[in-house]
Structure 1
Amino acid sequence: MARYLKTSDIAKAVGVHVNTVRLYEAQGFLPPILRSPAGYRRFTRAHLEQMRLAYLALKYPYAGGKQVVVDLVTYAAEGDLGMAMELAYEYLTNVRMERTHAEAAVEFLERWAQGQSLDMTKHTLTIGQVAKHLGVTIDQLRNWDRNGLLDVPRDPETNYRLYSATEIGRLRVIRMLRQSGYSLMAILRMMRRFDAGERERLREVLDTPGDNEDIETVADRWLTTLAQQEERAQAIIQQISAMIDLGQP
């Protein structure tokens, strides 16, 4: 490798546009870059490895939190690879925690789908009572209803929604899936299959958009996204390790 690299060399090696290299430099994600007497940037191998780290870490999505990856890239650019490594493991921990929550929500769903009652309410409740009972807002309940996640019977005289144990149990599943990161579209897809009699493949359905669906968010295939983010976290750790080795005599 030549002693110095050009902006185009860095861009080509990482697989990005030269403007991305310049943007990362401007944002402080690369170490200070010396200039030639003619004003050209003089990149080194250290800059190249830092650019690889930055591009790997800063790509959307950020299942384990955006700020932690921004901080670890910044620390690495400043030469503190120990702190960068510490934050990389924090990011890995965050992703694994989110993945655990997502898996637990699916297990909760599967238990409900196999017929276990998840609520023992003896009488029907109004929307306000249900909101208080489940710790959600009335607007959330109305939104889930409008989006087709459940069909709540109404009082024939007042037209008010009346929630029984059946609806409340279903709402518990919806709430847990939402709190664990799944999108409304993914939950709707799964609920439609459930209502059609599907009971065995709901985990797969929850994570697999149909051919006629537009994927609008990573939460439409949340389990896959989290698995990919755990792999990325491990790759970040390996890249920082390689940078540490590069700087050692």
Structure 2
Amino acid sequence: MGGGTTNTYKTSEIARIIGIHPNTVRLYEELGFIPKPIRQPNGYRIFTEFHLEQIKLVRIALQIEVLQNGLRKNAISIIKLSAAGDFDNAITLTDNYIKQIRTEQNNAEEAIKIVKELLRGNNKKEVGLLLSRKETADYLHISIDTLRNWEMNGLVTIKRKQNGYRIYSENEINQLKIIRSLRCANYSLTAILRLLNTLSENPNADIRTIIDTPSDNDDIISVCDKLLTSLGKAQANALVMRKQLVYMKKTINSNPPL
């Protein structure tokens, strides 16, 4: 509809170009993901190149699956800054967002390294260590509720004394250290259980592969069940987001929405 940066589009046209339903365009407007378009006297919305490129950014950003530690919230903030035409701050936030993703990746990889060291027995052995549930929680710097949750989810089985109280030996505490390391890096309980079950059958199994590969029998798979893969996709998407923002800054900054 014309040339250069003066192109305008109806709702149906911009939806067709992007490949989404017109209702999705209206939803993005309601959520503040795109600038509010002007309306003709008959009520029809008129969209510009800004809207077109902004919707492309939204589609890229919303592909990111990882939700932990505010990653999704940051992606939404980037979208809204761009929608307001504040490309400089959107790019700055994207750079911080990429750094955060890389930190999460480092934490995930470091947790695997710690698990390998624990399994090799490189950590200090606490020979004869026998602790109560509270003592174990204090020893591992976790809450009793967290410890109870891990037990209820089958991550660790604890023996009981004759009086019915649980007693945590060196083996259980070492296993709890593995669970703690993986949970601190945001691996899901399902992924950790999958790893522990595999290692009980095959101590030489590749930890990195097992922790990141959901079973075919899993009916529902969360992003943290394949954390390494999800973080990798998040980083790739964030880099594309940044490229899109730089492009928008160069081509649209002097051409705000009508």
Cα gap change, 1:205 to 1:12, in 2 (>3 Å): same
Structure 2 portions without partners, runs of 5+: none
Structure 1 portions without partners, runs of 5+: none
What one-letter code is carried by the residue in structure 2 that aligns with 1:97? T
| Contact in 2 for aligned 1:117/1:169 (Cα 8 Å) | no
Q: Which moved more, 1:94-103 or 1:4-13?
A: 4-13
For 2:91, the equivalent position in structure 1 comes to 85
Identical-pair percentage: 37
| Contact in 1 for aligned 2:11/2:45 (Cα 8 Å) | yes
For 2:232, the equivalent position in structure 1 comes to 227
Which consecutive segments of 4 or more residues in structure 1 shift more than 6 A? none
1:23 pairs with 15, 27, 43, which one? 27
Is 2:239 the counterpart of 1:245?
no
- Alpha-carbon distance in 2 for matches of 1:118, 1:206: 25
Is 2:51 the counterpart of 1:69?
no
For 1:196, the equivalent position in structure 2 comes to 201
Q: Which moved more, 1:13-22 or 1:78-87?
A: 13-22
How many matched pairs? 248
1:36-185, aligned counterparts within 5 Å?
36-59=40-63, 61-63=65-67, 65-117=71-123, 119-120=125-126, 122-155=128-161, 157-185=162-190
- Alpha-carbon distance in 1 for matches of 2:40, 2:224: 47
Residue 46 of structure 1 and its aligned partner are, at CA, apart by: 1.2
Residue 172 of structure 1 and its aligned partner are, at CA, apart by: 0.8
| Contact in 2 for aligned 1:11/1:17 (Cα 8 Å) | yes
Q: SS state of the match for residue 42, structure 1?
A: strand
What one-letter code is carried by the residue in structure 1 that aligns with 2:48? T
Q: SS state of the match for residue 65, structure 1?
A: helix
What one-letter code is carried by the residue in structure 2 that aligns with 1:9? E
| Contact in 2 for aligned 1:113/1:194 (Cα 8 Å) | no
Residue 119 of structure 1 and its aligned partner are, at CA, apart by: 4.7
CA offsets per residue over residues 142-183 of structure 1, 9 Å max, x none?
22222221222222x212221122211110110110111111
CA offsets per residue over residues 177-208 of structure 1, 9 Å max, x none?
01111111100000001111232412101110
1:217 pairs with 219, 222, 241, which one? 222
TM-score, normalised on structure 1? 0.92
Q: SS state of the match for residue 168, structure 2?
A: coil
